[in-house]
């Protein structure tokens, strides 16, 4: 029997039932909890994860890749806001592309997007272990990795309300750490004469070439995937059609500002980055090194504690998002339903999906290179974002069945073409350009994963001859 819902979420319950589903997940989240979820996924201090890698890729700038990535993501954010109004379901891009364009294309989009939702927490858990070893050199890497992957991810087993309550408080702490760091780095530059010796400089905007900047921008998108993760909680949100778009815009705006400021000020404090670019340990802990040089040992400890806390929270929310994506595909029987669609009766969470993601994180974190994983994550993001933008145009102009802002379902006219045609088209062009400049190895590995998804889909659907009833559109 479906759980009783309050009147505020009755409209959301209707939206789920009209697609043939029963409300199983716990609807309790509001716009502020969603925003906190998204920002925690983006991680307030996200530049610390890949700062050195971005610096090396671009040839001198971190601020510009984050600014360009933020602008690029804004166009795709518009498409997410449009599609969640049409299909307020768990599963994110999997459902949006599948129901807005084509169910087979939707599965492949979800399949490739799993690279993001499984590999991102792997990268952050690995980064956390590297940072923690700065103070705990005697503790084996695999032990620290287990704490930050399995230990944090399994918090999800105990329900979305616990996750949302933790998220709001720890987001405030994370923002405090990152802006305190920016102030300390800036003071060292302006007052102590460190690095550039001035807060107004073109130094943080230098790069080797347009192609190197594009490659760095592609990787910087890694840090913006939080707004996408918000949509995976559509069935745990009281008013998804209203609150999820609002939370998406807040996340992209706040995230872009924070990451740009972090990339700009930190680069002013690094006068000799080319001397360290061949040191993998320095690349993996660049902002730790900057914090130690500008604020001393005590501040570097504060920075590390804040960083590890932020990444711990991230792993909680990232595992939650990944589990909901797998839940959506499992519920539609495109993945084994007995495993991926199973919901714990007490906590109302997809527990087998959560446990599987934790296990994969730990295994990959022990054997895979962090830079390769970071680039591979963005293959999944670029594919999914491109598919999403295509699906908006397809839904509104080919199928003619999209819901407009006033609730009607007629073809866009006049100024509405801006929202439903031009913005998705611009977003698609940006994504394709960035994708073309992605790391070659990541393109190869990502394509192999895509090919595996195609082979699985062919077998599952008997060469596109059948679909589960829920997807027989």
Per DSSP, the residues of 206-221 read --S-HHHHHHHHHHHG
68 contacts 217 by C-beta, under 8 angstroms: yes
Local confidence band at 115 (pLDDT 50, 70, 90 cut-offs): confident
User: Which stretch, 234-243, 351-360, 419-428, has highest mean pLDDT?
Assistant: 419-428
Q: 456 is in which domain, residue-wise?
A: 26-385+426-471
- Residue 62 zone, left/alpha/beta (φ > 0; ψ -120 to 50; rest): alpha
Q: For residues 38-45, give the mean pLDDT.
A: 77
Please report whether residue 317 resides in a domain: yes
- The number of beta carbons lying within 10 Å of the beta carbon of residue 30 is 14
> Mean pLDDT over all residues of the chain?
84
pLDDT at 48 over 90: no
Decide if 87 contacts 357 (C-beta within 8 A): no
CB within 8 Å of 202: residues ≥ 6 apart: none
Helices (H), 59-159: 63-86, 93-100, 103-132, 141-146, 152-153
pLDDT, position 196 = 87
Distances (CA, A) of 10 to 14, 27, 201, 460: 6, 10, 54, 35
| Pairwise CA distance, residues 218 & 353, whole Å | 28
CATH number of the domain that residue 267 is part of? 1.20.1740.10
Question: Is 222:380 a contact under the CB 8 Å cutoff?
Answer: no
> Could you tell me if residue 158 is inside a domain?
yes
Rounded to the nearest angstrom, the gap between the alpha carbon of residue 183 and the centroid of all alpha carbons in its chain is 27
Q: How many domains does the chain have?
A: 1
SS3 labels along 10-37: HHHHHHHHCCCCCCCCCCCECHHHHHHH
Q: Of 70, 36, 117, which Cα lies nearest the Cα of 326?
A: 117
Chain centre distance of CA 290: 26
* Residue 391: inside a domain: no
The sign one gets for the Cα dihedral 208, 214, 219, 225 is: positive
Q: Which residue has the tokens 């499992």?
A: 330
Residue 164: pLDDT over 70: no
Kindly report, residue by residue over 208-226, the tens digit of the pLDDT.
999 899 888 888 887 887 7
Mean pLDDT of 369-386: 80
| Per-residue pLDDT, 162 | 58
Residue 148 or residue 190, greater confidence: 190
According to the model, what pLDDT value does residue 134 have?
Answer: 76
> What pLDDT band is residue 472 in, cutting at 50, 70 and 90?
low
Computed over its alpha carbons, how large is the radius of gyration of the chain? 22
Q: Which residue has the higher pLDDT, 95 or 265?
A: 265
pLDDT at 428: 93
Give yes or no for residue 13 having a pLDDT over 50: no
Mean pLDDT of 116-142: 83
pLDDT band at residue 290 under the 50/70/90 scheme: very high
Dig out the tokens for 302 from the structure. 């504060």
What does the alpha-carbon distance between residue 290 and residue 62 come to, in Å, rounded to a whole number?
14
Cα dist from 165 to 319, 386, 446, whole Å: 16, 33, 35
CA angle 331, 336, 339 (to 5 degrees): 85
Whether 418 shows a pLDDT value over 70: the answer reads yes
Is residue 206 assigned to a domain? yes
Q: Please indicate, yes or no, whether the overall pTM of this predicted structure exceeds 0.85.
A: no
- Residue 204 pLDDT greater than 90, yes or no: yes
**Is 42:225 a contact under the CB 8 Å cutoff?**
yes
Query: In this predicted structure, which of 5-9, 93-97, 343-347, 448-452 has the lowest mean pLDDT?
Result: 5-9
Asked if residue 350 is part of any domain, the answer here is yes
pLDDT band at 246 (very low <50, low <70, confident <90, very high): very high
What's the pLDDT score for residue 7? 41
Task: Say if 397 falls within a structural domain.
Answer: no
**Of residues 308 and 444, which shows the higher confidence score?**
444
Residue 421 lies in a domain: no
- pLDDT above 90 coverage of the chain, percent: 30
Structure tokens at 32: 């502020």
Report which of 121, 66, 1 is spatially closest to residue 256, judged by C-alpha positions. 66
> Does the pLDDT value for residue 405 go beyond 60?
yes
Helix or strand (DSSP H, E) at 48: helix 47-58
* Pair 104, 461: CB distance under 8 Å: yes
Residue 161: the pLDDT is 61
- Residue whose tokens read 């702490």: 173
Q: Between the CA of residue 63 and those of 217, 248, 363, 409, what are the distances in Å?
A: 10, 21, 33, 41
Lowest mean pLDDT among 168-172, 282-286, 304-308: 168-172
Best-predicted range by mean pLDDT (9-13, 307-311, 408-412): 408-412
Q: What is the pLDDT of residue 15?
A: 58
Structure tokens at 56: 């090396």
- By three-state DSSP, how is residue 243 classified? helix
Looking at residues 283-294, what average pLDDT do you find? Answer: 89
Q: Is the pLDDT of residue 407 over 70?
A: yes
pLDDT at residue 425, as a whole number: 96
Residue 302 lies in a domain: yes
Residue 205: both structure tokens together? 């905007």
**Gap between the Cα atoms of 87 and 293, Å rounded:** 50
């Amino acid at each position: 029997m479906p759980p009783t819902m309050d009147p505020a979420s009755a409209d959301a319950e209707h939206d789920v039932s009209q697609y043939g589903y029963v409300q199983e997940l716990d609807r309790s989240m509001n716009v502020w909890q969603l925003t906190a979820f998204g920002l925690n996924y983006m991680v307030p201090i996200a530049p610390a994860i890949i700062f050195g890698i971005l610096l090396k890729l671009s040839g001198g700038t971190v601020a510009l890749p984050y600014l360009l990535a933020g602008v690029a993501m804004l166009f795709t954010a518009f498409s997410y806001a449009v599609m969640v109004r049409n299909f307020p379901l768990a599963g994110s891009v999997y459902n949006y592309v599948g129901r807005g364009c084509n169910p087979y294309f939707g599965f492949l989009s979800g399949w490739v997007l799993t690279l993001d939702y499984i590999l991102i927490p792997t990268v952050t858990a690995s980064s956390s272990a590297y940072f923690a070893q700065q103070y705990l050199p005697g503790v084996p890497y695999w032990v620290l990795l287990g704490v930050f992957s399995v230990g944090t991810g399994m918090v999800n087993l105990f329900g979305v309300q616990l996750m949302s309550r933790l998220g709001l408080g720890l987001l405030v702490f994370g923002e405090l750490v990152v802006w305190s760091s920016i102030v300390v780095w800036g003071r060292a530059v302006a007052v102590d004469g460190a690095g550039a010796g001035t807060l107004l400089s073109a130094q943080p905007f230098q790069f080797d070439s347009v192609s190197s900047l594009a490659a760095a921008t592609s990787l910087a998108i890694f840090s913006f995937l939080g707004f996408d993760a918000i949509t995976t909680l559509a069935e745990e949100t009281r008013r998804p059609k209203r609150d999820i778009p609002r939370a998406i815009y807040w996340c992209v705006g706040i995230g872009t500002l924070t990451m740009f400021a972090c990339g700009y000020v930190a680069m002013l404090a690094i006068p000799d980055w080319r001397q360290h670019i061949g040191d993998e340990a320095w690349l993996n802990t660049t902002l730790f090194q900057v914090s130690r040089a500008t604020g001393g040992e005590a501040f570097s400890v504060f920075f590390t504690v804040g960083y590890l806390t932020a990444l711990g929270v991230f792993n909680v929310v990232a595992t939650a998002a990944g589990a909901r994506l797998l839940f959506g595909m499992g519920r539609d029987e495109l993945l084994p339903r007995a495993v991926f669609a199973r919901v714990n009766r007490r906590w109302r969470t997809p527990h087998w999906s959560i446990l599987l993601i934790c296990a994969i994180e730990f295994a990959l974190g022990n054997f895979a290179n962090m830079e390769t994983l970071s680039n591979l994550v963005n293959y999944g993001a670029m594919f999914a974002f491109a598919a999403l933008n295509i699906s908006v145009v397809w839904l509104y102009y080919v199928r003619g069945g999209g819901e407009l802002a006033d609730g009607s379902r007629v073809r866009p006219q006049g100024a509405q073409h801006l929202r439903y045609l031009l913005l998705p088209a611009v977003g698609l062009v940006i994504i394709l350009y960035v994708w073309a400049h992605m790391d070659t190895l990541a393109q190869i590995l990502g394509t192999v994963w895509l090919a595996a998804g195609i082979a699985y889909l062919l077998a599952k659907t008997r060469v596109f001859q059948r679909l589960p009833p829920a997807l027989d559109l």
